[in-house]
Amino acid sequence: MTKIAVAGGGSIGLLLAGRIALAGKPVTVWTRAEAQARALAASGVAVCGASGETIGIAPVTAMTLDQAQAERDPAHVVLLAVKQTALSQAFLDALRAAVPPGAAVAAFCNGLGHTERLAAALPGRHLLAAVTTEGARRTGPAAVRHTGSGNTWLGDAPLFDGTARDAAVPADPAKLQIVEKVLKEAGFTAIVSNDMAERMLRKLLSNAVINPLTALLRVPNGQLTATRDRLRLMRTLFDETVPVLRQYGLPNDPALWDELLDVCARTAANRSSMLQDVEAGRPTEIGAINGAVSRLARQAGLPAPWNGGLTALIEAIPGDGGDV
């Protein structure tokens, strides 16, 4: 039997672990905090629906990432569901020690930059990129609300570090099939994509417009479109970001603006992860989102003053400390 681990006890990590366990698959959650590991081991993951109704209590094994390094029967599939702010050198070293060569690691990270770092830190492991539009909100150390269903795309891990635009870590087809099967059996809509660069860039565009503006204005996603002034801000940032991302594989699609407005409508009550981080005084992923757009713009010789300015503003908020 394929041994599955979910690295990360946040919203998406608990959703993945909970739904996989409810489908009857044994799953282990790797956490950073020992207290959360104890809570999960004691009570399992409480999975609720969008309205708060209980879907099920999912029994899981749980341990810290440090404890996972000593496991005699290591995981074959690791779903990495952490924010880029967690990818410190110490974390990467611990991940390398816990994940044996030959295992598959599917990275569910926002923004850009993680595929390059993971590829360098995990030689001999099969790195996959994953992009999901599933909505989730952690409501406690062992509880998660599934706030909205979406799609999850899997495939080669693209590289955006100044190499050729089509550079990627090629996915092993057998490992890709295993991860796709695990997700589908858990009830997720999993799709193998031949163009993960496009998928990552589409989500980056959405995050680059919605996340910093909601964080600065302190409003949920749906409120961004509530006034003309906010819509103008969105459009200005969108118009600056699209030409940059087109240099790296974003298609010339006239529907992109309408797709962005649709995201705001479908997630109207959601508070973006960046807004939640700012409100909680936690570091944000601004460096991996708008900071990444600024870096890509410099590589392509294009201006991106709005992305650079928003990065500086968010990094100046007490508690952020910047994402280098």
Instruction: Tell me the per-residue pLDDT of 160-188, one tens digit each, with 9 for 90 and over.
Output: 875 445 566 787 899 999 999 999 999 99
**Whether pLDDT at 323 is above 50:** no
Cβ atoms 115, 89 nearer than 8 A: no
- DSSP labels, 207-274: HHHHHHHHHHHT--GGGGGSSHHHHHHHHHHHHHHHHHHHTTT----TTHHHHHHHHHHHTTTPPPHH
Least confident of 52-56, 71-75, 211-215: 71-75
What residue ranges of the chain are covered by domains with CATH 3.40.50.720?
4-194
Domain covering 4-194 in this structure, CATH number: 3.40.50.720
Catalytic residue positions? 203
Q: How much is the pLDDT for 322?
A: 42
What residue ranges of the chain are covered by domains with CATH 1.10.1040.10?
198-315
**Whether pLDDT at 153 is above 60:** yes
Say which amino acid occupies 97.
Answer: A
Tell me the CATH architecture of domain 198-315: Orthogonal Bundle (1.10)
Cα separation, 138 vs 124, in Å, equals 33
Give first-to-last CA distance, the chain, whole Å.
39
Cβ atoms 173, 213 nearer than 8 A: no
List pLDDT tens digits, range 2-34: 899 999 999 999 999 999 999 999 999 999 999
pTM comes to 0.91
